[in-house]
Amino acid sequence: HMPNRRKMFVKADWLESYRAVAGEKAPSTWKEFEEMLVFFRDNDMNGNGDTTDEIPIVLEMGQNGERSLHALLNAFGIKASSDAQFCVLDDGTYTMVYEHPRYREFITEMQKLYADKIIDQEFATRYQAEMYNTMSGNLAGTVFTWAEQCAVHSETLIANGVEDALYLTCAPITGPY
């Protein structure tokens, strides 16, 4: 029951499983967030007996490919426009996202997460509808999407017998910057 905003959401039952092992509250730093995603990758979070079908963080490409990694830019201090093309620098000027002084660090970290199969392996080609299918299919641990869609897909999962299915909003992850 929150305004229809795009936020990072985490599957509550997956988070509880992580917290039971890690003894942590919800992750708030980049390191903690990454540790949780590794846990999602390495465990049978959806309980179907297959430890390889979970996607720790599902992202969508958007209509023009503009959104795929956009959700993670802020953790690196890159204040990007909604189309992820421009960003505001610390001195108040703006430039292309790709020219930001920390963009290389950001993209290097994303490459690592991709190579480690933390980030959705189809992030650059996954359309929104396909992302929603992963949510309703109990395959997505975290997603960056609309609050309304999290409610819809939580209800779908519950109707399909996943009684404790619920997507919860995450506080913004504090990254290196």
pLDDT in tens, 10-19: 999 999 999 9
Give me 46's structure tokens: 């959806």
Q: Note the pLDDT of residue 36.
A: 94
User: What is the Cα–Cα distance from 16 to 33, expressed in whole angstroms?
Assistant: 14
Q: Which residue has better confidence, 144 or 101? A: 101
User: What is the Cα–Cα distance from 101 to 97, expressed in whole angstroms?
Assistant: 9
Put simply, whether the predicted model's pTM sits higher than 0.85 gets the answer: yes
Residue 27 has pLDDT above 70, yes or no: yes
Angle between helices 147-159 and 128-136 (to 10 degrees): 40
Strands 55-58 and 140-146: parallel
Q: Note the pLDDT of residue 168.
A: 83
| pLDDT tens for each residue of 58-108 | 988 866 565 678 888 888 888 888 777 888 898 999 899 999 999 999 999
Q: Note the pLDDT of residue 7.
A: 78
Average pLDDT over residues 36-54: 94
Angle between helices 12-22 and 30-42 (to 10 degrees): 100
Mean pLDDT of the chain: 86
